Structures are given as C-alpha cells and as structure tokens.
Structure 1
C-alpha cells in the first residue's frame, strides 16, 4: 500500500473552545502526527499497521473530543485508517471531508484510491451526476438555508414585477427574470436534496454486514456475499436496531444499524 502524506493543518484555527482545550488538542494532534511518522518509518508490516491504527485513533480523538470539523484532519485520519487496513473508517473519513468541502481534490482522489481496495463486486456511488454538474454548490448549504434563500428570491421577484407593472421600469422587469430564475434553480435543488438527503449517507464500518430481506435475524440473506467494510449506502428507513439501506446499484436490504456509521457526525 502506498504511503500517504499528512495534510498540513492549523489546529488552532479549528478550535473555538478554551485555551486549555486548545493546548490539549494540540498535544493530542502532535501525538497523532508523531505516531503517523513513526509508522511510516517502521519496517515490520504488523508493527507498521498497528502504528497507523494508533495514529488513526488519535486523529479520531482530536475530531470527536474537541468538536472539530476540519477537512485536512479528516483526510489525515483517512490516510492513517487506510494504511492501518481499516477501509471502512478510511472511506468514512474521506466522505466526511467531502461533506465539508464537496469538491476537495485531495479528499476525492484519496476516496477513489480507498475504493480500489474493496472487492470488485461492491457497487460504488457514481460521481458527477447531472444535478451535481449544474448545481455543484448544492451541498455547500443546508436545505433550510436553500429554502430561505429561495423564498427571498421569490419575494424579490414579486416586488420587481409589481414595480415593472406600476412604473413601467424596464430594469425591474429584467431583474425580476433573473431573480425568478434563481428561485427556480434553488427550488429544484432544495426539492432534490429532500428526495436525496445527504444526511442519510452512511458507510459500513464493521468488518462486514449481513444484508437480509427483512428486519429480522431469521430473514433470508439478500445478497450472495456480506457487505464488506467500506460499502457506501443510503439509509432509507430505521426500525429498532435495523436499517433498510440502498447500495449504489439501487438494490436495497436490511442490515444491523450498528454496522453502519453515518457520514454526518451529528446523525443518529
């Protein structure tokens, strides 16, 4: 497996807690970086893998214990996880980095590299959909913000139309067309996000997940092989400790909810 370089980041720019917390996070981050570099310089394969896993754990602690949401830190964690042979955690980390900055080149490249370690039969999400091509910014704002902006554009359009009718101002009519077009675009994106919620994205992070036809341990097995760690899914429904998922080829199944980790860290 190729060695992946650490991505430079300033931890202090991501932490808004007290100075004590900042120092604690800096100390933990330095430990993670030291473990990573030590693993890079280790020759025995088993020790090398364990070193990367320790670095992954420390990067994860920095992220979870201090409420940090940092692209570079997620990439570093993904790199450590990938070289520690934790494919599921690596793909999850890169997906979380891309959730913050959707078109981050390094995160996307590393994600594609991590996907190559999955069995060939595991379907991968298709990039560059038509919606993402024309509305690549749709993941930059939450759906509530998009809906609010769309409402403002509609209100502005109505005001401009009224001005153009009452006072015959050509500029008002032209601006109303632009505002109405923006409203329609935002409406399409907001509706699409509701039908395809980003918050429902998840990754299999246990060694494997047995997919079944129903939410029962006795239900028939849905696929010939268990879903391996790193399989990217959409959660369609949750029922007790089960989740109905859809994999990238459109097939659905039920798996244990505990086998999944949501891309959105705040999603339960």
Structure 2
C-alpha cells in the first residue's frame, strides 16, 4: 500500500513538473518579442540571450539575425555583429538596411583588405549573375526553352512569310537567352558549392603558411574580418582573403557562415 502511495506521489510530482515546464516554455515568437522589448530598454545582454534562444530552438529569420547583430553592435562586439548581419543578408540579400548596418560594423574592423580588381567583362558577368538566385536562373532557363519550342513550332507550321520570319527570330532569341541563363545557372550552382565563408572571432589570429603552429607566420588578422574557407586539415582551415592572400588558421579562431 505504501509503495502504491509513493508511486502515486511521484507521478503527481512528475506531472506538476512537466506542467511547470510547459507553462514556462516560450515559443520562438514570444522569445523574439521579449528580446525586442529588452532591446528597446537598452538591456542588450538579455536581448542577445533571447535572440540566441530563438536560434537554438531551430527557428531562424533575417529579422532575428538582424536584431541580434544590432544588439551586439550596441555593445561594440565586432565579430558577432558582422557575423549576424552576414547571416541576415544571406536570408534577405536585397535589404538595404541590413547592407548599411553591415557596412557600419565592417568599419569597426582593423584589417583593411582591398579586393582584387575585376576586368569589365567579369564585373558585368557578376552583376548579371546576381540578378537572380540559382533557382531563379533555373526558372528563366525553363521559360526560355519553352518559348523557344513554342516559337519554333509556330514557325514550322506557319503559313505566311511574315509569321514564319517573326517566330523564327523569336525562337532564335529565346534559344540564345536560354543558353545564357543555363550558363548562369551552372555558374550560380558552382558558386554555391564553393562558397564557404567565415568570420574571424579571435581578437588577433596568426595566419600560418602551413597547418601547424611551428610554421612561418604569413600575416595577422583581427576579429570581424571575412574570409573564404578553401580547405580543412585537422584543426586547421585554409583561408583566402579578398585581396588573394592565403594561409592556415586554427578552426577555433573563425566561425563558418
């Protein structure tokens, strides 16, 4: 009898404990709103904790990363500011406000890196490439090829010279645009596969010529600098800067975007 009473008591305690947890648990939206409220009260540390809880729950959005970056920026934390603005921009590439704030955060970094110059064709090609995403270029390719097929059928079965000439021109242009968009889609896909960037989180990181501490120092980077990750070997990662410099950095000194 006593055993049954103890078991019932434990069961009640467990149910009450679980109920307490469910009542105290906040949804990502509630955590986000709480963070916003704390941010408005200049309580940036607590705001950061709530925004990070939102991300830890598995939910992410440009707004969460953007507000998290803003809170870190207010505390002059360079690396987390740049990192989270970059994450926000990846989810909302054309947002001018995110771009502007990212630029402000990048101005706090120490390292002045001048990107390698691009020739006119490469600059034009990159501008064209960034008009659409990979999925966008895939859709454009399909539409152009469908237009080509339809125009060619109308041209082939057309009865008048004017009709045939018009749709022959349309099919030729559609085929050309389709091939161009296909090339851009492949380029976008290649860029996605090779695009692994990271932000330096260490206050000062020694970049080595080889992946070991005994190797020669190539150069030094500071927190907030964006690097491209080329290769991983053990606890080291090979990086490249926008100016073409390359070297090895401990994996603990950077955070992958």
Give TM-score, length-normalised by structure 1: 0.71
- Post-superposition Cα deviations, 1:44-100, rounded to whole Å, max 9, x if no partner, equal xxxxxxx423322321221231322x2222211111111122211111111111111
Kindly report which structure 2 residues correspond to 1:66-215, keeping only aligned pairs within 5 A, or say none: 66-68=58-60, 70-119=61-110, 121-123=112-114, 129-138=123-132, 140-141=133-134, 145=135, 148-149=138-139, 152=142, 155-156=145-146, 159-160=149-150, 163=153, 166-168=156-158, 170=164, 172-173=167-168, 174-195=170-191, 197=193, 199-215=195-211
- Post-superposition Cα deviations, 1:212-239, rounded to whole Å, max 9, x if no partner, equal 111112211111xx31111111111122
Kindly report which structure 2 residues correspond to 1:7-26, keeping only aligned pairs within 5 A, or say none: 23-26=26-29
Give TM-score, length-normalised by structure 2: 0.73
2:199–2:226 Cα contact (<8 Å) kept: yes
Q: Matches of 1:59 and 1:125 in 2, distance apart?
A: 36
* Cα offset, 1:192, TM superposition: 5.0
Range that drifts further, 234-243 or 102-111: 234-243
* Cα offset, 1:188, TM superposition: 2.6
Higher helix share: 2
Distance 1:176 1:217, change over 3 A: same
Question: Helix, strand or coil for the counterpart of 2:40?
Answer: helix
Gap runs ≥5 in structure 1: 1-18, 40-50, 264-268
1:208–1:228 Cα contact (<8 Å) kept: yes
Computing the radius of gyration from Cα coordinates, the structure with the larger value is 2
